[in-house]
């Protein structure tokens, strides 16, 4: 039985025709995880028992005609998303024993759709990083070259999809944490519009930027998962009603669409092979009937600075709860900590429970929000953020989508940027503007450089995932890059 590299669409058809059972499919992925994950470390935990139980239930639903749209499909979940009864660590020592008491909204929706949960994937601690090297438990390797990073912070999910250790996965994107690892691992990664997917049950890093989205093997699969998880949620006041993306609408092609190419995204010093691959993709879209026009987004150069000030400030606020008093690791319960005062509880709990990158961002954010600096830094950043969003609104009056590189580099080597935070932050230079603008964006494969995947980023206006996915699907189907797989034995 050949089940390698099944897409959600292909797996669903095999399940529908009874060519394959959900139990058989789940067993196949559990076997692949057992074989390959000791090298890749894409998963933090695999729950084989529950996955097989869910698979048996899915087979019954398929048999009696009550199957949901993702019924029987094995997926992986980034370990930042709460799943009732499952240890949910956020990649941090401080939560290594935390068992979630409830399901995140996306988990509830996926359960209703019939999805099978294989396990929780690795990530940079509290989603802070661009390489999945900041996890307290393991460093995930890129399936294309295990000496290189898979990107971050959703590197575990991207690696699992690329290595075919699941059919699809959920990640989170605050400044590119779905799209950049998708680019590095040669998968599709979708960041939906802020507010289209509930954040209820997502451990917050930066509440005004975080967004849950899918990592999949194809654009059609990304649309299928988006349709399952999107929509208004009474538990999240930032959510809005959404219109499901019709799979048939993806096939309309790009003829008549206007595609903008922002000149600020092609900067001096970027990898020439990446630029060549992206430019070739733009030409392909033109061949398919799209009108390609040059546009300018001059405020883009400020996006990374705005992002860092916003992120660190909100991190400082959101992680104040991990103080050793309410839940998580506490120095009071650690005999080696020898705490004597309440201040020592706070200090040693954070010093021992949190990693260097998390502590770095807390310190920077606390400074940015402190008296005398709040107006100078945080408030000023929010003013520029509003201008960047307005600039996007203006350009989307002229074009339907924007096309850019996803990352200025291919996957770099493990340890190459780990000790240089500023260099690491630059990995997200092309992805953070979409988060700052609150708009939707997707990364999909568009080439290889030195044998490693190159990502093409397509960006669209808020809640226009239909146009975004339509353009991405047209390019994908006209090329073969999405069929390339890492050379795993």
The residues annotated as belonging to the active site are 78, 153, 177
Report the distance separating Cα 104 and Cα 140, nearest Å. Answer: 25
Only one residue has tokens 């390609």, namely: 292
Report the distance separating Cα 265 and Cα 274, nearest Å. Answer: 12
Only one residue has tokens 């001059």, namely: 298
What CA–CA distances, in Å, run from 272 to 182, 278, 427, 446, 478? 20, 10, 16, 14, 23
Report the distance separating Cα 89 and Cα 355, nearest Å. Answer: 13
CB contact at 8 A, 9 and 224: yes
For CA atoms 58, 59, 65, 68, the dihedral sign is: positive
The continuous run of DSSP H or E covering 190 comes out as strand 188-191
Residue 18 has a CB neighbour count (10 Å cut-off) of 10
Cα 267 to its chain centre, rounded Å, is: 25
- Starting at the earlier edge strand, list the strands of the sheet with 440-449: 43-46, 116-121, 74-78, 168-173, 211-216, 188-191, 440-449, 452-460, 401-405, 258-262, 291-295
Burial class (CB within 10 angstroms; exposed 0-12, middle 13-18, buried 19+) of 257: buried
Q: Residue 309 pairs with which residues in a beta bridge?
A: none
Roughly how many angstroms between the first and final C-alpha of the chain, as a whole number? Answer: 17
Report the distance separating Cα 114 and Cα 61, nearest Å. Answer: 8
CB contact at 8 A, 45 and 87: yes
CB contact at 8 A, 26 and 74: yes
Report the distance separating Cα 480 and Cα 489, nearest Å. Answer: 21
The string of DSSP codes covering 396-421 is TTT-SEEEEES-SSSPPBTTSSTT-H
Residue 347 has a CB neighbour count (10 Å cut-off) of 15
Only one residue has tokens 């899918």, namely: 214
CA dihedral 343, 346, 349, 353 (to 10 degrees): -150
């Amino acid at each position: 039985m050949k089940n390698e590299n099944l897409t959600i669409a292909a797996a669903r058809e095999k399940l529908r025709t009874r060519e394959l059972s959900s139990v058989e499919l789940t067993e196949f992925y559990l076997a692949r995880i057992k074989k390959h994950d000791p090298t890749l470390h894409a998963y933090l935990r695999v729950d084989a028992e529950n996955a097989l139980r869910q698979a048996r239930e899915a087979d019954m639903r398929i048999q009696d005609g009550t199957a949901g749209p993702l019924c029987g499909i094995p997926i992986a979940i980034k370990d930042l998303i709460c799943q009732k009864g499952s240890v949910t660590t956020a990649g941090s020592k401080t939560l290594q024993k935390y068992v979630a008491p409830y399901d995140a909204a996306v988990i509830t929706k996926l359960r209703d759709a019939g999805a099978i949960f294989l396990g929780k994937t690795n990530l940079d601690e509290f989603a802070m990083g661009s390489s999945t090297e900041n996890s307290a438990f393991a460093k995930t390797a890129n399936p294309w070259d295990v000496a290189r990073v898979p990107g971050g912070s959703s590197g575990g999910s991207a690696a699992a999809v690329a290595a075919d250790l699941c059919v699809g996965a959920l990640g989170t994107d605050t400044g590119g944490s779905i799209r950049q690892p998708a680019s590095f691992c040669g998968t599709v990664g979708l960041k939906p519009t802020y507010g289209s997917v509930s954040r209820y049950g997502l451990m917050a890093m930066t509440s005004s930027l975080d967004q849950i989205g899918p990592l999949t093997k194809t654009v059609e699969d990304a649309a299928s998962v988006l349709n399952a998880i999107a929509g208004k949620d009474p538990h999240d006041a930032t959510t809005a009603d959404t219109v499901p993306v019709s799979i048939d609408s993806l096939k309309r092609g790009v003829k008549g669409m206007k595609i903008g190419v922002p000149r600020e995204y092609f900067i001096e010093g970027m990898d020439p092979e990446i630029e060549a691959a992206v430019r070739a993709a733009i030409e392909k879209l033109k061949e398919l009937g799209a009108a390609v026009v040059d546009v300018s987004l001059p405020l883009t150069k400020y996006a990374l600075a705005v992002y860092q000030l916003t992120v660190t400030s909100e991190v400082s606020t959101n992680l104040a709860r991990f103080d050793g008093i309410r839940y998580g690791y506490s120095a009071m319960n650690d005999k080696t900590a020898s705490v004597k005062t309440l201040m020592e509880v706070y200090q040693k709990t954070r010093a021992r429970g949190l990693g260097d990158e998390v502590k770095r961002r807390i310190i920077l954010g606390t400074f940015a929000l402190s008296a005398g600096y709040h107006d100078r830094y945080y408030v000023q950043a929010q003013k520029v953020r509003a201008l960047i969003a307005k600039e996007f609104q203006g350009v989307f009056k002229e074009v339907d989508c924007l096309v850019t590189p996803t990352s200025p580099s291919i996957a770099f080597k493990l340890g190459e940027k780990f000790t240089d935070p500023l260099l690491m932050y630059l990995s997200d230079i092309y992805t953070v503007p979409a988060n700052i603008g609150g708009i939707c964006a997707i990364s999909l494969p568009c080439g290889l450089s030195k044998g490693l995947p190159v990502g093409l980023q397509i960006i669209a206006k808020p809640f226009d995932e239909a146009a975004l996915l339509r353009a991405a699907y047209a390019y994908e189907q006209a090329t073969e890059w999405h069929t390339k797989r890492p050379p795993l034995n």
